[in-house]
Amino acid sequence: MLEQLQQYCPEVMSTFDALAETGCVEFLAETYYHSLSFLYSRDEFAEQVKKHSETIEYLFGQKPRVFRNTELIYNNDLACFVESMGDFDAILTEGADHILGIRNPNFVYRPKGCSKLKLLLKNYSLSDDIAFRFSNRGWSQWPLTADKFARWISDINGNGNVVNLFMDYETFGEHQWEDTGIFDFMRHLPEQILRHPDNDFKTPSEIAR
């Protein structure tokens, strides 16, 4: 994707450059080809992750410290292998109910078998409220406003330390078109979240410390 953007849509790359320059955005490592390489070759997997990390560092001046596998696919063997690579402080995955059981996705965990690597879990419910339900007029919570969503985030205080919102970049402008109000929602959301004194924003690496 990065190669395609550089060749066919450099104006998008310039927006990523601008984000990097803010110092408030962290770029993560992935497999270079958005592949399932860990499932069939760990050598290939390691090579792809290395290539992706080097590309991110070259383009944006950041050496990734957090890893996200393709489509958040995860198991503990993957986490242990990623830790053994020595480059990463954390790994991301889904906060799936059937895996968590009584546990809560709004805490930081350590994968079984790992001594240092942290596990950051997606709050899929709140993430999907934005990614998929935002413009659904049949949804009981429509319309979703920034202040309403910020209240939901604030309600987690005391029952979690972090809320990880993961969604595809195509959420903004493709899944949720501009006329749904998604850009206005995102524009006002930070201010609404920060109105609560216990809330702030952290990059994945900051959370993993």
Q: For residues 135 and 159, what is the distance between their CA atoms, to the nearest angstrom? A: 28
DSSP state of 172: B
Q: Which of 21, 71, 178, 206 is catalytic?
A: 71
Which has the closest alpha carbon to 208: 102, 31, 83, 97?
A: 83
Q: For the chain, how long is the longest CA-to-CA vector? A: 48
Cis previous bond, 197, omega within 30: no
Q: For residues 119 and 91, what is the distance between their CA atoms, to the nearest angstrom? A: 5
- Residue-level length of the chain: 209
Residue 206 is a catalytic residue: no
**In the numeric block, which tokens belong to residue 190?**
């930070």
Q: How far is CA 165 from CA 77, 127, 130, 160, in A?
A: 24, 5, 9, 14
Active site residues: 71
